[in-house]
Structure 1
Amino acid sequence: MAALRTLWMGLVLLGVLGVLQTRAEAQVSLQPNFQQDKFLGRWFTAGLASNASWIREKKAPLPMCTSLVAPTEDGGLNLTITFLRKDQCETRTLLLQPVGPPGCYSYTSQHWGSVNDVRVVETDYVEYALLHTESTKGPGQDFHIATLYSRTQTPREEVKEKFAAFAKAQGFTEDTIVFLPQTDKCMEGHQ
């Protein structure tokens, strides 16, 4: 009887999680007719919004970073991110594997061991891109981040407003949205 009750509770939880996951996925749209070849090249991470406590704690000293997007032979993307950390340039490369429709990718974090789903929600390819990343590290440890990519270090005010509206539509509050200051450090070599 106890085993049957445990099984029943497990199925109920899976059903609830499935509904919640479907709702979250329904809220995050996808760039129509995403063209990966136009998305390639250098982007600057100009804005972030997240439910992660480390972003709220470190948002003041967090400078802009560069991301170089290159194709892989299997149709995925190599995303090489260079950022300033403790006055030193650090580089991380993520292998984004295509999953689902064009513009949907997945990668496994070497640092956290978590699986992350990345969606290109909106882009004009020449000026900005809005991305949404979702990760689950374990029970109760859901991580969501909205990212503003810009082709320049100085995105137009309209693009910033578009990002803020996008982040708020994803449930982020004003205090979780940050625009990263531009820097000359760690930018060379990423043309």
Structure 2
Amino acid sequence: MALGLLLLGLTLLGTLNIQAQGSVPSMMQVPPLNKFPLQPDFQEQQFQGKWFAIGLAQNIFRSKCLSQPAMHMATFVLKNDHTFNATYTRVSDKGCDHRSDPMVPSGQPGQFILGNTTRSENYTMRVLATDYTQSAILLYVFRLKDRVYFENMLYGRTLKLSPEMEMQYIEVAKSLGFSDDHIIITAPTAEGH
């Protein structure tokens, strides 16, 4: 119920007028982070664990060959200093790709920044909505040189969420200005990853 209300709130944010830029690749403008509400009373202990990427919306144009990207998962392990060690694993027909990043609290519960100072990009992760047991919607914003990229992710504790949850996510992503070319629902791999 609470997640449904948060999804409704995110849908109402669709009044934001996110305009597509004329650059190649096609990119959408990124509204200020404070336009995306954080999960009320974020519970870091409950959020930690394994999450499977179910939905993905990005502000860069996706070609048809990328319409079904490799399945991936994120594992968030909470450390004593309230930092998450975030490990991302992508599974494709070419094998597995792993990346680990320290995500440091940024002063607002549910918002984290990349703690690895050896990277040049400015990277923020926001937990927009979660029920902790089934699904979570996150926003990732990263700046690289003169471009700003953002991803709106739907995660599930299992490889498949209900069709209703997937449709709610698609509606939220569209309300934020994403077109069909920018939104995908991932399919589980044959290996079940």
TM-score (norm 2): 0.76
**1:18-97 matched pairs, under 5 angstroms:** 24-53=32-61, 55-56=62-63, 58-85=65-92, 87-97=94-104
User: What SS does the corresponding residue of 1:91 show, helix, strand or coil?
Assistant: strand
Measure, in 2, the Cα distance between the counterparts of 1:123 and 1:48.
Answer: 16
CA RMSD after TM alignment: 2.4
Measure, in 1, the Cα distance between the counterparts of 2:142 and 2:128.
Answer: 16
**C-alpha distance after superposition, 1:109-130 (max 9, x if no partner):** 7997311111000000111000
Larger proportion of helix: 1
Identity level (%): 26
Measure, in 1, the Cα distance between the counterparts of 2:128 and 2:100.
Answer: 21
Measure, in 2, the Cα distance between the counterparts of 1:165 and 1:111.
Answer: 37
Structure 2 residue aligned with 1:3 = none
Deviation at 1:148, TM superposition (A): 0.5
Deviation at 1:85, TM superposition (A): 4.3
Which consecutive residues of structure 2, in runs of 5 or more, have no partner in the other structure? 1-28
Measure, in 2, the Cα distance between the counterparts of 1:39 and 1:176.
Answer: 27
**1:1-191 matched pairs, under 5 angstroms:** 24-53=32-61, 55-56=62-63, 58-85=65-92, 87-107=94-114, 113-139=120-146, 141-185=147-191, 187=193
Deviation at 1:95, TM superposition (A): 1.0
Q: Are the equivalent residues in 1 in contact too, given 2:68–2:184 (CA < 8 A)?
A: no
Deviation at 1:133, TM superposition (A): 1.1
Deviation at 1:174, TM superposition (A): 1.6
Measure, in 1, the Cα distance between the counterparts of 2:169 and 2:54.
Answer: 10
**C-alpha distance after superposition, 1:124-165 (max 9, x if no partner):** 0111000011111122x1101100000111111121122112
- Aligned pair in 2 of structure 1 residues 146, 109: CA closer, same or farther (>3 Å)? farther
Q: Are the equivalent residues in 1 in contact too, given 2:90–2:98 (CA < 8 A)?
A: yes
Deviation at 1:60, TM superposition (A): 3.0
